[in-house]
Structure 1
Amino acid sequence: MAEQETYYEMLWDCPQCGTLGLLGDSHRHCPTCGTAQDPTKRYFPKPGEEVEAKNHQFVGADWRCVYCNSPNSAAAAFCTNCGAGKDGTKPVALVADTAAALPEPVAVPAPPPQRELGWVRWVLAALALLVVGLIFLFSSTKETTATVAQRSWAREIQIEQMGRVSDSAWCDSVPGDAYGVSRNREQRSTRQVADGQTCHDERIDKGDGTFVKRRECTPRYRSEPVYDDRCRYSVNRWRSVRAVKAGTQESLMPVWPSAGNLNANFLGGNSGVGAIGSERQGARRETYVLVLSANGKTWTCNVSESVWSKYQDGATVPLKVHLTGGADCASLQ
């Protein structure tokens, strides 16, 4: 069986004689001067100062007479003040309980005087012009013809060696070839665990001069650590240990350096799995540089091998130069 709701009186203030705190259900008219209650002016009492509406039977929200504005019970077919019929009327608007939800008032700074706003506009306009000018300065270029003053290249090969690497991971992610595994418990994450409820009373206007309280509750949670096994282990992996290099000082034309004699001791023949101490060639890297000059200025550009090979020492090169003086190396083709 549903619990019977308790009804409490809404309040209103008489606009005619100034009587305050009149009861919304009991005082349909001001007991001092007889002025009809205005349902739009009803308000909730302060929390803890609610007055129970005795023997109240809820039959629906009030309707407001279109002739004399008096609020009438939903059960009334005619206005109790002037006798007008209920036909064509609408239920009164409900009042929201904002007393507990209102935030602390925040001091709003006074707007600056108009002359200060004028200065702000001038500053913003100047900054906008500055930004546009910088964009133009760094994006605009002019055509020039430069001479190749110097060419250089460099190539290198990383030499990798199979060696023992110490690492750690959660035990469910340890590689299959790990060895020397040890484990201990560590916090891996946190989880949210139900920890009761946070409840408050919500007051709801019923529209007939009364309101009810309803207990609203939301789940409350706490953070709880989650522990798991953390493993420390060793694993054999390829690591870069040195690099062999070649450059312009060895040859005018680009060549890859010799890796020399590597300790290629692989397990299982050509399986690609190296024994501890075995070596192999790893990543390769190459750079090609053109030093260009024109009108007493010099620019250094990193270019592709095809562009580098196209221009020999002393050759002329069409080049775009930014208004700031920097070269647009991407314009080299």
Structure 2
Amino acid sequence: MTVHGEPLQLGLRLWRWAWLWLAPLLLGLLYWALAPAGTAVRVAAMNWSRDIEVERQVQQLDSGWCDEMPHGAQAISRRKVDRPDSLPGGTAEHCRYTVLVWRAVRSLHSEGLAPTSPFWPPVPANALSSDADAGKERLGKRHERYELLLQSDDGQEWRCKLPMPRWQTFSTGQRLRLKVDRFGVADCSGIARVG
């Protein structure tokens, strides 16, 4: 004989066991949602560097369709070949040529630590060659890097590269929170001020 209350009691017992299993999971989720985000760190150092490329004009050997050579190029050799993008049986001249190009050969460099303000490296008066035989030189691209060295209380370190305006908003010794994933990789976009 089956008593109608037994399935009800069995269901209640299952719910009690389910709560015992779910409680730690729910507590973990609650901690994850409400705990302070990230790892406590301090700004151990703020470094910066700036570089200016020095480019030299050099002759470069290249090849291509003669009618598409760059301006100023000088043909060394020409030959008639089938041109794949033309009508069947169409030929065109293919050239080997030299052309003057600007190529980075060295750079001028400056670097430092905050509170020293970043500056571009000075260009000495004789830094650029204007001798046509040696190859004329000019200043080329500029590169800049701004980095925070962040350190946790247990000595772990992370480096975060930032744009200059954001980098300037921090100071050495400042306490911050840094989002770090379970593999120890920092999310530098998630730096938050403490307090």
TM-score by length of 2: 0.67
After TM superposition, list the pairs within 5 Å mapping 1:235-314 onto structure 2. 235-248=99-112, 252-260=116-124, 261-263=126-128, 265=130, 275=132, 277-296=135-154, 297-314=156-173
Contact 2:75 2:95 in 1 (8 A): no
User: 5+ residue gaps in structure 1?
Assistant: 1-140, 193-223, 267-274
Name the count of aligned residue pairs.
Answer: 153
Q: What are the Cα deviations for residues 110-131 of structure 1, in whole angstroms up to 9, with x where unaligned?
A: xxxxxxxxxxxxxxxxxxxxxx
Q: What are the Cα deviations for residues 76-133 of structure 1, in whole angstroms up to 9, with x where unaligned?
A: xxxxxxxxxxxxxxxxxxxxxxxxxxxxxxxxxxxxxxxxxxxxxxxxxxxxxxxxxx
Contact 1:246 1:255 in 2 (8 A): yes
Query: Larger % of strand: which?
Result: 2
The DSSP-based 3-state class of the residue aligned with 2:184 is coil
Contact 1:142 1:321 in 2 (8 A): no
Contact 1:290 1:302 in 2 (8 A): yes
Structure 1 position 321, deviation (Å): 2.4
Q: Name the CA distance, whole Å, in 2 between partners of 1:175 and 1:286.
A: 32
The DSSP-based 3-state class of the residue aligned with 1:310 is coil
- What's the counterpart of residue 54 of structure 2? 159
Question: Which of the two has higher C-alpha Rg?
Answer: 1
Q: Which amino acid aligns with 1:285?
A: H
Distance 1:191 1:165, change over 3 A: closer
- What's the counterpart of residue 88 of structure 1? none
- What's the counterpart of residue 174 of structure 2? 315
Q: Name the CA distance, whole Å, in 2 between partners of 1:240 and 1:167.
A: 18
Q: What do you get for the CA RMSD once the two structures are aligned?
A: 2.8
Residue from 172, 184, 188 that aligns with 1:325: 184
Determine whether 1:188 maps to 2:83: yes
Residue from 77, 93, 107 that aligns with 1:229: 93
Q: Name the CA distance, whole Å, in 2 between partners of 1:144 and 1:318.
A: 5
Higher relative contact order (CA 8 A, sep 6+): 2
Contact 1:264 1:279 in 2 (8 A): yes
TM-score by length of 1: 0.41
Residue from 55, 66, 71 that aligns with 1:176: 71
Q: Runs of at least 4 residues of structure 1 off by over 6 A?
A: none
Identity over aligned pairs, percent: 33
Q: What are the Cα deviations for residues 129-163 of structure 1, in whole angstroms up to 9, with x where unaligned?
A: xxxxxxxxxxxx93333101122111111001122
Q: Which amino acid aligns with 1:294?
A: S
The DSSP-based 3-state class of the residue aligned with 2:189 is helix
Structure 1 position 283, deviation (Å): 0.4
Q: Name the CA distance, whole Å, in 2 between partners of 1:329 and 1:179.
A: 50
Query: Larger % of helix: which?
Result: 2
